Amino acid sequence: MNLLQTLSAPLGRILLAIIFFIAGVNKVFSYQGTQGYMEAFNVSDSLLPLVIMIEILAGLAVIIGYKVRLAAFILAGFSLVSAFIFHADFTDQMQMILFMKNLGLAGGLLLLVSHGAGAYALDNRLESETM
């Protein structure tokens, strides 16, 4: 594996997942505002704790490279569902951009599902310890 591949895997994981981790933390600190936003789209605010857990825990898992395929699959699904619920107003250019951003994130995450965590991942360390 060359240096570019070695370094791009962890950097790619971080760049893909940091948006989820930060969004989840922000939802903790703006809980009521997020509840109102969800209710405006007829999404039960009782789902907010689950959303926060998914964003923080799965985001962190991808960043550190733990159970990457599963965490990336969950985040890809989350991205697609949230795109169709919250950003499907294609008459609004900003919503179209956010919709496309979610599709791009899902695509990148599905590449992690397909190819795994790459270098500097906790999954690799745990796998080598069990052998």
Q: What is the pLDDT of residue 1?
A: 62
Single pTM value for the model: 0.93
Half-sphere exposure at residue 6, Cβ-oriented, CA atoms within 13 angstroms: 3
Confidence grade of residue 127 (pLDDT, cut at 50, 70, 90) = confident
Q: Taking 70 as the threshold, does the pLDDT of residue 3 lie above it?
A: yes
Q: What does the pLDDT look like over 90-104, one tens digit per residue? A: 999 999 999 999 999
Residue 51 tokens, joined: 């959303």
Pick the closest to residue 66 from 50, 81, 74 (CA basis). 74
Q: What does the pLDDT look like over 49-79, one tens digit per residue? A: 999 999 999 999 999 999 999 999 999 999 9
Burial class (CB in 10 A: 0-12, 13-18, 19+), 106: buried
Domain boundaries, the chain: 14-130
Instruction: Specify the range with the lowest mean pLDDT, choosing from 23-27, 107-111, 123-127.
Output: 123-127
What is the rounded distance in angstroms from the CA atom of residue 35 to the CA atom of residue 27? 9
By the 8 A CB rule, do 123 and 66 touch? yes
Q: What is the pLDDT of residue 4?
A: 87
* Amino acid letter, residue 1: M
